[in-house]
Structure 1
Amino acid sequence: MPRGGARAVSGPPPDPRSLRSVKAADKGGWRTLPAEGREGEPPEWPLTTAADRELDLWEDLWSKPQAVAWEDMGQELEVALFVRTLAEAERADARVDVKKMVRGYLDSLGLSVAGMNRNRWKIAPALEVPAAEVQAPATPIRRASARDRLKVVPSGEGS
């Protein structure tokens, strides 16, 4: 095992709010992914015949915001391997090393917070619904407080 030196994921992940990261963003370092996710059909499954669960995961993952970046980088095979590994890790008798592999995929594909930071991805704020379409919340019923329940008795009354 090598000692010392930098490793691919050593140190804290980049923080988009830090001054150093702001400078990197000015150089195009952070990528904003669309909040609505990737539109359209998922790519064709690149591995051998997929199980039903794998196809469900495949379809779900390709609708996420991160899928826009995966498509740009041609990561269909990596996503498919993650799907196959995740489906195996979901089994009750899954091996620990398979579960560890899933964690690595989550980070490398930007599906975890740390992975999003390491890939320098952020998700755009969701589009706001126009005020005319937003229903006003019902006025909450205010319960009487202990102070409200106290009865003020004028001096001399009741004696």
Structure 2
Amino acid sequence: MWKELWASPQAVQWDDSAASVVASYIVLTLAVLGGTAAAWQAAEARHLADRLGLTPTGMASLGWRIAERGEVADVVPLRVS
């Protein structure tokens, strides 16, 4: 799961400080998928997925979209600063 997330289009927008967030997301998600997570853990996994831009809601809140074929970046910020 670690390798898959870091190979995702969203990962190009993460810096090294995202590593602990990704690790936390993995631990919580595996607990949810394994049926051992408490409700707060499931809620935190959803929250982290949004913060990492792994959901449509998260991508929208971060102002990201997946690049079209032929664009240079994998994830393109919608807002130009």
* TM-score, normalised via structure 1 length: 0.41
Distance 1:95 1:126 in 2: 40
Aligned length: 70
Structure 2 residue 32 is matched with structure 1 residue 89: yes
Q: Deviations over 1:50-105 (max 9, x none)?
A: xxxxxxx101100101101113x631111111111111111123211111111101
Distance 2:17 2:47 in 1: 19
Distance 2:32 2:10 in 1: 21
1:34-73 alignment, distance < 5 Å: 57-71=1-15
Rg (Cα) greater in structure: 1
Distance 2:52 2:22 in 1: 8
Rate the CA distance shift 1:80–1:93 in 2: closer, same or farther, 3 A. Answer: closer
**SS in structure 2 opposite 1:122?**
strand
Gap runs ≥5 in structure 2: 71-81
AA at the equivalent of 2:62: N
Gap runs ≥5 in structure 1: 1-56, 128-159
Residue 118 of structure 1, CA deviation = 0.6
Distance 2:35 2:29 in 1: 12
Q: Deviations over 1:98-144 (max 9, x none)?
A: 111111011111001110011111111134xxxxxxxxxxxxxxxxx
Distance 1:90 1:120 in 2: 28
Contact 2:10/2:53 (<8 A) preserved = yes
**SS in structure 1 opposite 2:14?**
helix
By percentage of residues, which structure has more helix? 2
| Aligned-residue CA RMSD (Å) | 1.4
Distance 1:92 1:79 in 2: 20
